[in-house]
Structure 1
């Protein structure tokens, strides 16, 4: 299954920019037929892989009430996501963190950022963006579209207790594809 392609706007050899990824996810999130094609599970997240623009990796994701990603980053990939149904909350850090040679960091004050993304809203982000995405509704599914370029080389998962961010796991593509 594929979503609308931005290939005509992006030459095959050019890497898509965060703005182009945001355009793709926003247009895809508005595609009612695409959104309706995602099977929703009352217990766990569901997803379909999409064809993203310019060789990017894209996903349509269903979020049951009360689910989230936990703190993570997408390594060297830039990305974007848009809410297609429901409301999602993103907690993020307003600083890049070192990408290696550490197991835990104590974060300075005032680095936390929060965004609420209602249906039709999206955001783009750069490399090493640390965040978590949540569906805080207690009764409504949320659906979103995500795109990353280059395709995700890995995902680093973190735990967070107050100001302490701890690296817990590094997932490889074979772990989620």
Structure 2
């Protein structure tokens, strides 16, 4: 269970880092994007998140494989607390901000790279963040028109870069 968590989390971080690196070559804020890549999801290894996220990862692994699963007593509450900690401690999550429209371009770019990494992992939408954005923006996250347009422009740019880099053709 621990090994699976560590492998899965590291693979996710590496996908985000690869996506941020692709965009860093295109943006004036490239150095800041690369700095974000170095610390993306580091809180998942901290004391507030590590153990609960191991259990959360196991819950999802079992769900995907249709294996019965039950948290040990008290762990589900710890998992919910760890999720709250994660999204309120990392700028690339809209929940970090009092108003998601306060997110900077760098925050939004990292968020798109995170959503893209999840799409790649789950084999959704040809690895594009477009589906995540369509399911999230205006439903769970009330971005204004400017932020929404920016997010979709970044998604289009990253999708083009991934395809030209051959990433979109590879199994993640």
**TM-score, normalising length: structure 1:** 0.27
Greater length-normalized contact order (CA 8 Å, ≥ 6 residues apart):
1
More strand by share: 1
Please report the TM-score for the alignment, with normalisation by the length of structure 2: 0.28
Higher helix share: 2
